[in-house]
Amino acid sequence: MQEVNQYLATTLKKLRQEKSWSLDRAASETGVSKAMLGQIERGESSPTISTMWKISTGFHKSLSSFLEPPADPNNETIIRATSTRHTPLESDNAPVLSIFPYDKRFGFEMFELTLLPGYQRISEPHLQGTTEHIIVICGEMELLLEGEWIKLTKGEAVRFTADKLHGYRNNSTSPAVFHNVIHYGQGSCE
Ligand code: MN
């Protein structure tokens, strides 16, 4: 089993037990089927980023809290070599690297996402008060905001309210890479 799937399996099981949620309850809170949650807990499934967002929103947690252990609360310095970044969601056609995990002292997490040609994802609203900051590192991508696709190219940056429907797509012929700083509203995220 991939290390990240193992961490996800353990974390999901632990959080569900802390809340005393049955699989049925967790399914209704997250919108992810009971069968899928069971597979994830047994490490039998490598979920897509859409599924991961549903789970983290349903549990009122940051996305990164399901991907890797929290940062050391006594040390603000993180030095992260490329080889030590996590590559969790390979099944997705949209690789995600964690740059900085969520830390409640700072209220944000940061990812690097790659959108392969033809990729499209519509994201359901994140937790209330969530803001995303997107900076395109290479290629061309489009962002769905307020029902309109906005074209972004290398070097362009957008901040938007992510507690409503939004989306990401790549209609070009080469991969697009962007950084995403996700800031959670105060108290929205445990
Ligand atoms: Mn989003």
CA 126 to centroid of ligand 1, rounded, Å: 7
> At 147, which CATH number?
2.60.120.10
In a domain, 76, yes or no: no
Q: Answer with the residue of higher pLDDT: 38 or 96.
A: 38
CA 43 to centroid of ligand 1, rounded, Å: 25
The answer on 89 and 59 residing in a single domain is no
CA 58 to centroid of ligand 1, rounded, Å: 15
Give percent above pLDDT 90 in the chain: 73
C-alpha torsion 56→69→185→30, nearest 10: 10
CA 123 to centroid of ligand 1, rounded, Å: 6
- The residue segments making up the domain with residue 132 are 82-183
CA 162 to centroid of ligand 1, rounded, Å: 6
CA 132 to centroid of ligand 1, rounded, Å: 7
What beta strand segments (E) does the chain contain?
A: 96-103, 108-115, 120-123, 131-138, 140-145, 148-153, 157-161, 166-169, 176-183
The answer on 162 and 103 residing in a single domain is yes
- Residue ending a domain, among 66, 91, 109, is 66
Pairing of strands 176-183, 108-115: antiparallel
CA 108 to centroid of ligand 1, rounded, Å: 13
Global pTM? 0.91
What is the Cα 61 distance to its own chain's centre? 11
pLDDT tens digit string along 113-152? 999 999 999 999 999 999 999 999 999 999 999 999 999 9
